[in-house]
Chain A
Amino acid sequence: MKKVLSIRNLQKSYKEKKAVKGISFDVFEEEVLCFLGPNGAGKTTTINILAGILNEDHGEISYRGEPFKNVLRKYKSELGIVPQDMAIYEEISALNNVKFFASLYGLKGEALETAALDALKRVGLYNVRKDKPKTFSGGMKRRLNIACGVAHKPSLVIFDEPTVGIDPQSRNHILSYIKSLKEEGVTVVYTSHYMEEVEEISTRIIIIDYGEIIAIGTKEELKETLGDTDRYTIDVDNGRIDTEKFYAIDGIKDVAYKDGKLSMDVIRGVDSLDKVVAELIDQDIKLNSLNKESDTLERVFLNLTGHSLRA
């Protein structure tokens, strides 16, 4: 597959704080590349640099083999941006919003009208096209935000956390829309801190934390880093637990206890659950709930960064 974007040693600081610490990655044609990381990981800074509105301190960005600043006009005309913050005018109709932003890409007359209506149809806002966004729900505004970013039919679309704070219906709509873009051959760069979304739509995933790339790969490749273990997470009443005793059970590794949460890795295929429960009873510990996680991205993130994504 052809490289659309190539980023090398990208760095950006805000005063003393290093937001992006020399990251390098490629974006290939027709893929959905997802950036997964907690708030403050450097995702939005990276996206703002790629959108051409924030200058990097250091690094090289190429678009289809050319330094992107040399072909900025062409790059921007082929790029669609869906920013995290709502970038729409509240006082004009949804249709006029989309038409205005699409017109900045050279669309005029009937082509402009058709493109705007098509974009609104695809995000499910055609029926409210004459309404003002100030009357919309948060989810509808997010969908309009998307329509404004893609009406000019870009070949590369960057979504920055497009599903933050919205209802499940709108979220499903947005995720289906992104999958349909992928089917049409549009290249998508997507940032999120929601594992389930990334798992659902990604072709490849970049795990980013504290401004650094921790891992890059398909979800299958990333899950392989977990080895052959599952994880038990057990909610217990706070009390003294002798974690060492669990190591005596077959297949148990890496036992940890903190704030009423006992966690342990267990070699896949070894049936040790009964023995774990028996040990808790032996230690007179009240068990509230038990959860078995297999190869989830949550575990991959925890395994790679040492902390949970939502922390």
Chain B
Amino acid sequence: MLSIIKRDLINVCLNPALLLYQTLFPLLMVLVLGLMNRNLYDSDLLSVHDYYGIGIIIYMAVNIAIIATNSFMEVSIKNANLRIGYAPVATYKIYLSKILATFVFCMLSLFALSGIFHLLWGVNFGDSFLLFMLLIASLALFSCSLGVMFCCLLKSEETANKILGLLILFLSLLGGVFFHPRALGDGFAQFSALSPVRWTMEGALRLIYDSDAAYIAPAIAILSVLTLAAILVCQKTFKLEDYL
């Protein structure tokens, strides 16, 4: 299992498009959103870069679902992944290794991005950085499982990515990654409570600015249950012939 995870992790890292997408893209997002909205959030307590630094970290943790689908069923590696199935390897290891490899890739990149955001814009991650990252890790693991689950259900990376792209955008908008949901009205703000991104965003902001960790445990627990559910769906639906 470890050798497959290692192989999958190297495959993701050797894909320049994915690598740039997970590193350069968030930097540009914070830069551009910071410039566009510098009058909205700038205060002594919360700068625009603070808001978007945290928001984009959370967005990238959700968006990793797209990379998980690539790692699982992207055309250029699909046949090689199928070859793993010819070997005496349990089928679950094939999809689980993709979830875990993408998760490791995501966390490494998010740790690096957090450092860069802090250095470039002084983004404040509070005093409980590890707890913050634990929350982000729960969201990222859920997203990786979701990405692979969509592939298992739809049997196609392309279709999975199309649907996931929309879902991620919707969950991120609900979650207040780009602007606070209240900006679209109270109804929308209430509805946004359904988004795991919202719980994570809310939990992160409370943890950082109020030193309030009350949201963290429930958010991690719910995300863990959702992750397990997604993995169970993979177990039920994934067949080696899906690679054919």
* Residues of A that sit less than 8 Å from B by CB: 48, 51-55, 72-74, 76-77, 79, 81, 83, 85-92, 97, 100-101, 103-105, 148-149
Interface digits, B204-244 against A, CB 8 Å rule (1 contact, 0 not)?
00000000000000000000000000000000000111011
Q: B10 to chain A: which residues have CB within 8 Å?
A: 92
Whole-angstrom distance between the alpha carbons of A91 and B52 in the complex? 35
A83 touches B79 (CB 8 A): yes
Binds A, one of B85-93, B136-144, B173-181: B85-93
Given contacts A48-B241, A53-B241, contact A91 B11 (CB under 8 A): yes
Q: At the interface, yes or no: B38 with Cβ under 8 Å from chain A?
A: no
**How far in angstroms is the closest Cβ of chain B from A179?**
23
Q: At the interface, yes or no: B77 with Cβ under 8 Å from chain A?
A: yes
Given contacts A48-B244, A100-B7, A104-B3, contact A89 B80 (CB under 8 A): yes
**How far in angstroms is the closest Cβ of chain B from A52?**
7
Whole-angstrom distance between the alpha carbons of A81 and B243 in the complex? 15
Q: B82 to chain A: which residues have CB within 8 Å?
A: 53, 83, 87
Q: At the interface, yes or no: B83 with Cβ under 8 Å from chain A?
A: yes
A90 touches B76 (CB 8 A): yes
Q: At the interface, yes or no: B183 with Cβ under 8 Å from chain A?
A: no
* Residues of B that sit less than 8 Å from A by CB: 3-4, 7, 10-11, 14-15, 76-77, 79-80, 82-89, 239-241, 243-244
A105 touches B87 (CB 8 A): yes
Whole-angstrom distance between the alpha carbons of A230 and B153 in the complex? 56
**How far in angstroms is the closest Cβ of chain B from A12?**
10
Whole-angstrom distance between the alpha carbons of A88 and B15 in the complex? 15
A81 touches B244 (CB 8 A): no
Whole-angstrom distance between the alpha carbons of A74 and B11 in the complex? 29
Whole-angstrom distance between the alpha carbons of A101 and B83 in the complex? 8
Q: B239 to chain A: which residues have CB within 8 Å?
A: 55
Whole-angstrom distance between the alpha carbons of A77 and B86 in the complex? 9
Given contacts A53-B82, A83-B79, contact A73 B241 (CB under 8 A): no
Whole-angstrom distance between the alpha carbons of A101 and B244 in the complex? 19
Whole-angstrom distance between the alpha carbons of A27 and B31 in the complex? 65
From B3, B11, B83, residue with most partner A Cβ within 10 Å = B83
Given contacts A83-B79, A87-B80, contact A53 B244 (CB under 8 A): yes
**How far in angstroms is the closest Cβ of chain A from B236?**
15
- 26 A-B pairs with CB atoms under 8 Å apart are A51-B86, A53-B82, A53-B86, A53-B240, A53-B241, A53-B243, A53-B244, A54-B240, A55-B239, A55-B241, A72-B88, A74-B88, A76-B87, A76-B88, A79-B86, A81-B83, A83-B79, A83-B82, A87-B79, A88-B79, A91-B14, A97-B80, A103-B3, A104-B3, A104-B4, A105-B87
**How far in angstroms is the closest Cβ of chain B from A105?**
6
- A-B contact sample (13 more), CB < 8 A, given A72-B88, A104-B87, A149-B86: A52-B86, A53-B82, A54-B240, A55-B239, A74-B88, A83-B86, A87-B82, A101-B84, A104-B3, A104-B4, A104-B84, A104-B88, A105-B87
**How far in angstroms is the closest Cβ of chain A from B182?**
46
Task: Output the nearest chain B residue to A158 by Cβ-Cβ distance.
Answer: B86
A101 touches B87 (CB 8 A): yes
Task: Output the nearest chain A residue to B15 by Cβ-Cβ distance.
Answer: A91
Q: A85 to chain B: which residues have CB within 8 Å?
A: 79
> Top 3 A-B pairs ranked by shortest CB distance?
A104-B87, A53-B240, A87-B83
Whole-angstrom distance between the alpha carbons of A51 and B85 in the complex? 9
Q: A90 to chain B: which residues have CB within 8 Å?
A: 76
Task: Output the nearest chain B residue to A100 by Cβ-Cβ distance.
Answer: B7
Whole-angstrom distance between the alpha carbons of A54 and B241 in the complex? 5
Q: A55 to chain B: which residues have CB within 8 Å?
A: 239, 241
From A53, A55, A92, residue with most partner B Cβ within 10 Å = A53
A104 touches B89 (CB 8 A): yes
From B11, B79, B82, B86, residue with most partner A Cβ within 10 Å = B86
Contact of B80 among A54, A81, A88 (CB under 8 A): A88
Whole-angstrom distance between the alpha carbons of A97 and B239 in the complex? 24
Task: Output the nearest chain B residue to A102 by Cβ-Cβ distance.
Answer: B87
Given contacts A104-B89, A105-B88, contact A83 B83 (CB under 8 A): yes
Q: B76 to chain A: which residues have CB within 8 Å?
A: 90
Whole-angstrom distance between the alpha carbons of A103 and B76 in the complex? 21
A148 touches B14 (CB 8 A): no
Q: B86 to chain A: which residues have CB within 8 Å?
A: 51-53, 76, 79, 81, 83, 149
**How far in angstroms is the closest Cβ of chain A from B72?**
14
Whole-angstrom distance between the alpha carbons of A73 and B85 in the complex? 11
**How far in angstroms is the closest Cβ of chain B from A276?**
50
Q: A76 to chain B: which residues have CB within 8 Å?
A: 86-88
Q: B15 to chain A: which residues have CB within 8 Å?
A: 91
**How far in angstroms is the closest Cβ of chain A from B152?**
15
